[in-house]
Amino acid sequence: MRVAALMIRILRQIIRDKRTMGLLIFAPILVLTMMHFVFAGDEYVPKIGIVDVPQAIVEQMNSDDVKITEYDDKTQAQNALTDREIDGYFTFENQSPALYLEGSDPSKNGAVMKWIQTALPSGQPTNGPAPTLNIDYLHGSSDMGIFDYFGPVLLGFFVFFFVFLIAGVSFLRERTTGTLERLLASPLRKWEIVIGYVLGFGLFAMIQTTIIAAYAIYVLGMVMEGNFGYVLLITLLLALTALTLGILLSAFANNELQMMQFIPIVVVPQIFFSGLFDLDTISKWLSWIGPFTPLYYAANALRNVMVRGYDWGDIYTDVAMLAGFSLLFMILNIFALKKYRKI
């Protein structure tokens, strides 16, 4: 009887917590639905350009599983490759076949190589030994692995996840222990309280992100083609975004469990739009969510710096968006404090 009474009390406690009940049902459905649309998407179709390829060979190419674009010269094809409009382009140089790959995504490189091998079984010159296919890379090399491509995304995700969690729980503890109420009773204005908390937690986030980024690059050997200073800037802005978002959402939680409940709703969905999965294969009606998530811009900027070696001119838009997210969440935090005190 005593065990049954305890069981009934726990069940009643869970049932009364409508947020927990909703999470137990809604969160798994949300994540599973996103996984369905991500993994059940269309198979990736390589985008390949061709330049100065004999018409006889072009006619032999099987274009059913690839999107082919013809260019007048190598300059046009090279510009398209730089802008990532194509995954690679095929041409002939001194009667030898040559393939130029964008190179930053090993999976796309593999798809292009697979198509080339099947599309040109007899399309090469037959006088003498078959010439060797020359392969060149705009970014990376044949030695670049999957971890090198996905590493920047994982780096950004772990920074975002842990800063969000620590900031949210810590600020919640400040509120539940009465520290926030005492600050609100002081002459401090709401914006001063928000800035103070952001700077305080931000110092820790700065140390954390620096250690994580340095370890991933210099210890684990993650590919690093660009400036490490840009990597620190991007990860710090991402950490600031996670920090301000965690503080904001903690205002709507009454305990640590409720704070944890935001993770599958706010953090996990961002994984699907961060570039960890190919956005070209995700359903079009779902892919529009990506630009509304901070991790989308952070992962793109980190990959551009670490894998492609891009400079400030290629990443400033993503950096500005991260700064904008941080500013937006800081402003919302100021308004959220009205829940506790009206000035």
Q: Domain with 90 in it: what CATH number?
A: 3.40.190
127 pLDDT higher than 60: no
Domain count, the chain: 2
Asked if 139 and 308 touch (Cβ cutoff 8 Å), the reply is yes
Residues 267 and 123 in one domain: no
Residue appearing with tokens 């599983």: 65
Kindly state whether residues 157 and 67 are assigned to the same domain.
no
Tokens representing 343 are 């000035």
For tokens 């059913």, the residue is: 64
Among 115, 137, 159, which residue terminates a domain? 137
319 in the same domain as 199: yes
- Check whether residue 311 and residue 175 sit in a common domain: yes
- Predicted local distance difference test score (pLDDT) of residue 325: 95
In a domain, 207, yes or no: yes
Which residue range forms the structural domain that includes residue 207? 146-339
Tokens describing residue 74 = 């190598």
Helix (H, G, I), strand (E, B) or coil at 272: coil
> Looking at the structure, do residues 133 and 151 belong to the same domain, yes or no?
no
Q: What is the mean pLDDT of residues 193-216?
A: 81
The answer for residues whose C-beta is within 8 angstroms of residue 244's C-beta and 6 or more apart is 198, 325, 326, 329, 330, 333
Q: Could you tell me if 233 and 311 are in contact, meaning their C-beta atoms sit under 8 angstroms apart?
A: no
Q: Is 154 found in the same domain as 60?
A: no
Beta bridge partners of residue 92, listed in sequence order? 97
pLDDT the model gives residue 41? 60
Residues 216 and 233 both lie in one domain: yes
Asked if residue 100 belongs to a domain, the reply is: yes
Contacts of 168 (CB under 8 A, 6+ apart): 246, 247, 249, 250, 253, 259, 262
Same domain, 172 and 116: no
| Predicted TM-score (pTM) of this structure | 0.79
**Which of 110, 137, 164 marks a domain boundary?**
137
211 and 72 part of one domain: no
In the block, tokens 């080339």 appear at 116
What percentage of the chain exceeds 70 in pLDDT?
A: 80
Give me the chain's average pLDDT, please. 79
CA dist 44 to 18, 38, 111, Å? 41, 12, 8
pLDDT at position 123, please? 44
The dihedral region occupied by 222, where left means phi > 0, alpha psi between -120 and 50, and beta the remainder, is beta
Same domain, 189 and 128: no
Sign of CA dihedral 206, 211, 216, 217: positive
Q: Are residues 150 and 129 in the same domain?
A: no
In a domain, 209, yes or no: yes
Question: Same domain, yes or no, for 106 and 124?
Answer: yes
Taking only the tens place, the pLDDT of each residue in 62-75 is 666 788 888 888 88
97, 116, 137 - which closes a domain = 137
